[in-house]
Amino acid sequence: MPADSAPASGAAVIQTVLGDIPAERFGITMCHEHVLIDQGHVSYREPTSDRDKAFAIRRVALDFFGWLQWNWMSNRDNLVLDNESHATDELRLYREAGGDSIVDCTLPGIGRDPEALARISRASELHIVMGAGYYVEPTFPAKVGSMSEDDITAEIVGEFRDGVGDTGIRAGSIGEIGSSVPMTDLERKVFRAAGRAQVELQCGLTTHPGRVRESPFEILKLLKSVGTDLTRVVLGHIDRTVPDVDGLKELAGSGCYIQHDLFGTETTATFPYQFHGIDMPSDPQRLDRMKALIDAGHEDQLLVAHDVSTKHRTRRFGGLGYDHFLRDIVPWMPKRGFEQNVIDKLLVHNPRRAFAIGKYN
């Protein structure tokens, strides 16, 4: 249930859009989702064929769902989630499947709406943690170019402590802070500022690596240079970025969280994945990679999610929704060698430690 009273002074807390809750109330959590988002201005890819151009301007519908899976960036309507009623319905399905909480990674420039998130949290009876910071340079508001590193750090800290603008609604996580390929100078500035804010706030910081294998390594090196606590850094989208277990183990050796957050995405879409030479793994391949990390002793560093950010991935429009992992994957995990205590860590205990304000043990 959403926050209804303040936790005891000094206790580890999660900052939700409805206020602070004790970390112990932050139950089953998907750690990287988008409840509302508008990425049309940054993600849209114009089709080349006449047939595909006709699909590009249609409203999302089931009769071309297969095309959307392969061309999800080439339909403008698909790239916008802006209906609060639909969002509430989708999250209620997640709630019915056992979900308690969601970390929403939508930032300024791609449709972050604190007041809408608060309304949806109340209506869906879910805890929602809102992000702070900036995503990738093509989405940066114009002001970011003239802001200093200190200015960005102060803004993030202010959104945690005082709320966004005059809404009084406070951020509870930093990110997703993103990298293009290659990372731009402005993105480096935002990463440094976000890393410094994380140290001051003692909070989680979620990253969006570029779609090349070296990107998460570059991000960790940059964050380490400003003293960021790497044990509170979440490497997002690792499924499509580092396919080899040796690379995953090397990243985990830094102490960071390794997040497989594209569960339910198994199609190597024309763009961006084929374009970048990425073979999108299947859900069983994701589980195999996670099991290899567990066997290597990294079970306390794993997080999961779906990164739902388009219409075609919601239940209303034929997708698997925010409840896919709980509905379809969790029952399967014991058969693939996952013990219940490890499943509990993935869903509950690791998210609490990653996103608590201060330390949660």
What pLDDT is recorded for position 11?
A: 78
Q: How far apart are CA 156 and CA 197, in angstroms?
A: 7
Q: What is the pLDDT of residues 291-316, one digit of tens each?
A: 999 999 999 999 999 999 999 999 99
Q: 73 lies in a domain?
A: no
Q: What SS3 state is found at 224? A: helix
| pLDDT above 80 for 7 | no
Residue type, 240: R
What pLDDT is recorded for position 2?
A: 61
Q: How far apart are CA 250 and CA 217, in angstroms?
A: 9
Q: 44 lies in a domain?
A: no
Q: What is the pLDDT of residues 33-77, one digit of tens each?
A: 999 999 999 999 999 999 999 999 999 999 999 999 999 999 999
Domain that holds residue 104: 28-37+85-355
Q: Exposed, middle or buried by CB within 10 Å (0-12, 13-18, 19+), for 239?
A: buried
38 Cβ contact list (under 8 Å, min separation 6): 79, 80, 81, 82, 110, 111
Phi-psi region at 77: left, alpha or beta (left = phi > 0; alpha = psi -120 to 50): alpha
Average the pLDDT over 318-347 and give the result.
Answer: 98
Q: 15 lies in a domain?
A: no
Q: What is the pLDDT of residues 263-285, one digit of tens each?
A: 999 999 999 999 999 999 999 99
CB 172 within 8 A of CB 114: no
| pLDDT above 90 for 144 | yes
Q: List the single range of 8-17, 45-54, 238-247, 321-330 with lowest mean pLDDT.
A: 8-17
Q: How far apart are CA 79 and CA 184, in angstroms?
A: 24
Q: 66 lies in a domain?
A: no
Q: How many domains does the chain have?
A: 1
Q: How far apart are CA 194 and CA 227, in angstroms?
A: 11
Q: How far apart are CA 267 and CA 273, in angstroms?
A: 9
Q: 224 lies in a domain?
A: yes
| pLDDT above 90 for 333 | yes
- Residue 358 — pLDDT band, cuts 50, 70, 90? confident
- Mean pLDDT value across the chain: 96
Burial 320-338 (b: 16+ CB within 10 A, else e): bbbbbbbbebbeebeeeeb
| DSSP-assigned beta bridge partners for residue 304 | 260
| pLDDT above 50 for 5 | no
What pLDDT is recorded for position 214?
A: 98
Average the pLDDT over 252-259 and give the result.
Answer: 98
Q: How far apart are CA 268 and CA 12, in angstroms?
A: 40
DSSP result, 50-95: HHHHHHHTSPP-GGGHHHHHH-GGG-TGGGEE--HHHHHHHHHHHH
CB 242 within 8 A of CB 213: yes
Q: 311 lies in a domain?
A: yes
What pLDDT is recorded for position 123?
A: 98
Question: Prior bond to 218 cis, omega within 30?
Answer: no
Q: What is the pLDDT of residues 84-112, one digit of tens each?
A: 999 999 999 999 999 999 999 999 999 99
Q: What is the pLDDT of residues 174-222, one digit of tens each?
A: 999 999 999 999 999 999 999 999 999 999 999 999 999 999 999 999 9
What pLDDT is recorded for position 222?
A: 98
| pLDDT above 50 for 150 | yes
What are the phi and psi torsion angles at 180 (to 5°)?
-80, 180
What pLDDT is recorded for position 1?
A: 56
Output the domain CATH number for residue 334.
Answer: 3.20.20.140
Give me the residue label for tokens 């293009």: 180
Percentage of residues in the chain having pLDDT higher than 90: 96
Q: 132 lies in a domain?
A: yes
Q: 16 lies in a domain?
A: no
| Token reading at 16 | 């939700």
| Token reading at 101 | 């909480």
What pLDDT is recorded for position 3?
A: 63
